[in-house]
Structure 1
Amino acid sequence: MSRTETRRVTQRQIAQLAGVSQATVSLVLNGRTGEGVRIPEETRERVQRVIEETNYVADPSARRLAGVDNRILGVFTYEPAFPTRSLDFYTPLLNGIEAGAEKLGSDLLLFTSTPVTNGRRRLFHERNRLRLADGVLLLGVEMDPSELARLVEEQFRVVAVGRRDTPAIPYVGIDYTAATAELVRRAIAMGHSRIFYLRIDSEGESVRDRFDGVRKGVVGTSAVLADRISDGGSLEADWAAVTNFEPTLLIAESPDVAEALHERAIEDGYSVPGDLSIITLASSPRLSPGDVNFTRLNPPRTELGERSVNLLARLLSDEDYPSESELRTLMPCPIVDGATLSAPTQEARA
């Protein structure tokens, strides 16, 4: 069944296919049980089977009008949230989401049963449970634009955490472009003229925004920029590319890559930041007193999570629904001065 066909499926059609009344379908969808509500288990299973076969997804606003408001906020992550390599990204976000939900008196429901296709989780599938939540928060570096568009078409109450290109999808994001451009301009004003950028291989909007910021920071100057994709798995190859280019400034998108190359530079006798300045476009929440104090962007991810919850709550509100300009907003990204950016030495300039 195509997406258009799925969108047109109604409760009345479900009732016809299951051979029951529309009222029975509504009761099954809303999970109504108790005194005065007697639906044979066989009937309930038959209705549920038709719902799954047709990929029917209930309109959250209709459920709210019917009095179904469980004060449950769903959380869907396009990438697994708990592997070690994901903790730096997701932990502060989830902390903020939890704090926001607690203030609202709402519970969180983490959707984990979604199937994985080509290494990515699918939001819509035959056992879709999005209707269990009153609204859903979407997390992930990359999100499926077609799924986001479908959410908009079917008027789901959702908020994407992070800026999205998909028209009309509500989001709260971080203005990485402006902050990155500002940091690069600061470095160039100090005298840096050769810049090497190790970036992440991703088409996620936040990744592209940081790359745009690097390029905007260089535009209109005499600085020369080179870039290379790195996931941190080929340290020697990354370091060889850096030294071959001979930059005075190394930009590492990942804090882990910045830390590894900082150690490698020291091993080779480089002075940081005198011979080679290093900045990173993210900040690890696991910093300890002994860690390198990188000059860096410090994305306010905990605040991002909490503000995303607040926007979702307003989407669910009948009294405080956000204005058009409030549906898609960007938060400023602070810059930490750190200790790894300075004017290059005369030897480095040469």
Structure 2
Amino acid sequence: MKTSFREVQGAAALSGESGRLDGIGMALGITGAVLFSMKAVLVKMAYGVVPDLPVVTLMVLRMGLSLPAYILILMIARRAGQGRIGIRETLSAMAAGVLAYYICTFLDFQGLKYITAQLERLLLFTYPAFVVIFGALFFGGRISRAGLASVALAYAGLAVVFLRGDMTASDNLWLGAGLILLCAALFALFQLIAKGFIDRIGARVFTCLAMIGAATALLVHFFVSSGGLSGMIAALQLPGQLWVIAVALAFFCTLLPSFFINMAIGRIGAQLVAILGMIGPLATIVAAILVLGEPFGLWDGIGTAITLIGIALYTVVAQRSAKPRQT
């Protein structure tokens, strides 16, 4: 029997026959969103220490410092008999990780060279719009009028920011924004793909395989771009301050939230994780203002509020339409 996209949404969003929301899943989603939201601030801090730092080098620092933990956790999970899958499904999970944690991260880090941390987080936050579009195109979902109106409201808020806001100050605004929006679209596709893997093999095993897959692709990239092993060693001769930032980026903004978010998706679904992630842009704005000294004016506040309201309304609409009918 084929399961529809709407049924998947409903089953993921509700816990148990009573339909009560999963409190642990919600807590994981909120915590993961806040930790992930600090990533943009730390990346901007890293570029402040080494302005010409290559994106791939920063990615290697982030992934290299967190990879041993993923390998260890995977070994423990496998020894406990969790996530026993074949080579084909293992490679598929790793390929999904390449999409989310290598390609999306590269686009994100590159985009952050051109735009503010606040704008990056706000643009990424619109990924639920891509979730519903891809759900309709590839997973048998439907786009309601209310859903379309909510998405339109979210992008109207972005239009306000782009037309009148201070956070858009950049010499390469459209290039940076385009890279981040492409990242958001690909990450939405990953979220829809990830749900199936998490249901079959569990969040821990899937997260580890996804990260290992991304790390493998990244190391190949770094090896080629550096011109071999000696070039890799030379590229990592960096200031101590940058290594401190890299450790924080790897542990607090990669290792912990990657598990929290995927566990949340497994418990409450991608749609509800999206609305809980509303705290992410707000946390980024506060940190960017206090730590980075980025500008934030009245129109930025108005546009941000409109965007957050639009995404919240969209997710509420999606949740209502996803609830399974009583029989």
- In which range does the TM-score fall when normalised by the shorter chain? under 0.3
TM-score (norm 2): 0.25
Structure with greater proportional helix content: 2
TM-score (norm 1): 0.24
Structure with greater proportional strand content: 1
Query: Which structure: larger Rg?
Result: 1
Which one has more relative contact order, counting CA pairs under 8 Å at least 6 apart? Answer: 2
